[in-house]
């Protein structure tokens, strides 16, 4: 009588632990970044204030070709990454059918730890899931930038007396909010790319993989909260000093 296969024995507890640590790093950092963005200056909160200023000044311009071009350029970036996800997924779907060859290739690397075929298939499957998630984030970002383009087309002109000052202020705040939401979706997709690089180290060694996931978290934190770009953005019009709690709360992940 055949004994049923135990995935824990085939894949190994160390691989499950590595996958759990990877998910913990990704989800915990996302929650942490969202929490901190509401309480301190970050790329997210500072850029949101600049977007509000952009919308306010756009309402005072008769010609908005430059504004439309800027929005289209950002949308093209999201389109590029969405297209890249499709190409990567095509490669990964091919790779999962050649898991045996991948396992043989990795086993010939002197510093790599050999693993079972099922474990190799799991690693490729996780990468597929990561890029599927990234694809959905980038395509949703593209749609949201499209919403922002519609709002920009509907924006009242400076000499339109039918629109009150309060309505103009509301348009600037919530028009910026739509762009902000699109940028968050774009940011989620970019994070997927960062963490997918950590997944590559899983094919070498699960412990190196866990270290790589922690390193990615450190890089993301440094860029979003400590980077020189953030310092410069805070100094533009002294946004960092003017950033109020209400402004921060308008920006969330």
For 45-90, the pLDDT digits (tens) are 899 999 999 999 999 999 989 999 999 999 999 999 999 999 999 9
Q: What is the pLDDT of residues 215-231, one digit of tens each?
A: 999 999 999 999 999 99
Q: Judge whether 18 and 208 are in contact, CB under 8 Å.
A: no
12: left (phi over 0), alpha (psi -120 to 50) or beta: left
Q: What is the predicted pLDDT for the residue at 184?
A: 94
SS3 content of the chain, % helix, strand, coil (to 5): 80, 0, 20
Q: What is the pLDDT of residues 114-127, one digit of tens each?
A: 888 889 999 999 99
Q: What is the predicted pLDDT for the residue at 238?
A: 78
Structure tokens at 145: 């930038």
Is the pLDDT confidence value at 170 over 90? yes
What is the number of alpha carbons within 13 Å of residue 139 lying toward its C-beta?
11
Q: What is the predicted pLDDT for the residue at 102?
A: 86
Report, as an integer, the average pLDDT of 196-211.
Answer: 94
Chain mean pLDDT for the chain: 89
Q: Judge whether 139 and 45 are in contact, CB under 8 Å.
A: no
Three-state secondary structure of 72-117: HHHHHHHHHHHHHHHHHHHHHHHHHHCHHHHHHHHHCCCCCCCCCH
**Which uninterrupted H or E stretch holds 213?**
helix 206-221
Higher pLDDT, residue 251 or 135: 135
Question: What is the band of 251 on the pLDDT scale with cuts at 50, 70, 90?
Answer: very low
| Cα gap 152→154, rounded to integer Å | 5
Report, as an integer, the average pLDDT of 165-179.
Answer: 93
| Cα gap 172→165, rounded to integer Å | 11
Structure tokens at 241: 């000093």
Structure tokens at 40: 């301190």
Higher pLDDT, residue 252 or 72: 72
Sketch the domain layout of the chain as residue ranges.
Answer: 43-246
Q: What is the predicted pLDDT for the residue at 248?
A: 45
| Cα gap 179→166, rounded to integer Å | 20
Q: Which residues contact 187 (CB under 8 A, 6 or more apart)?
A: 44, 253
Is the pLDDT confidence value at 211 over 80? yes
Question: What is the band of 21 on the pLDDT scale with cuts at 50, 70, 90?
Answer: very high
Structure tokens at 25: 């790093």
Q: What is the predicted pLDDT for the residue at 51?
A: 93
Question: What is the band of 8 on the pLDDT scale with cuts at 50, 70, 90?
Answer: low
């Amino acid at each position: 009588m055949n004994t049923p296969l135990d995935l824990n024995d085939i894949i190994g507890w160390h691989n499950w632990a590595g996958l759990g640590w990877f998910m913990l790093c990704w989800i915990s950092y996302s929650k942490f970044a969202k929490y901190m963005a509401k309480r301190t200056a970050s790329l997210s909160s500072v850029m949101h204030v600049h977007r509000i200023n952009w919308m306010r000044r756009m309402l005072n311009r008769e010609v908005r070709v430059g504004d439309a071009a800027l929005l289209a350029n950002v949308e093209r970036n999201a389109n590029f990454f969405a297209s890249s996800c499709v190409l990567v997924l095509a490669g990964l779907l091919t790779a999962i059918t050649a898991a045996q060859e991948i396992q043989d290739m990795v086993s010939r690397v002197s510093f790599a730890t050999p693993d079972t075929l099922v474990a190799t298939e799991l690693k490729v499957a996780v990468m597929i899931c990561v890029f599927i998630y990234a694809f959905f984030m980038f395509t949703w970002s593209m749609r949201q930038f499209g919403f922002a383009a519609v709002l920009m087309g509907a924006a009242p002109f400076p000499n339109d007396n039918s629109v009150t000052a309060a309505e103009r202020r509301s348009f600037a705040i919530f028009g910026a909010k739509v762009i902000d939401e699109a940028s968050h979706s774009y940011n989620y997709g970019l994070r997927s790319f960062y963490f997918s690089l950590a997944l590559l180290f899983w094919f070498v060694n699960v412990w190196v993989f866990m270290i790589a996931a922690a390193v990615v978290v450190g890089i993301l934190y440094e860029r979003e909260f400590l980077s020189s770009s953030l310092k410069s953005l805070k100094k533009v019009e002294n946004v960092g000093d003017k950033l109020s709690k209400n402004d921060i709360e308008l920006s969330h992940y």
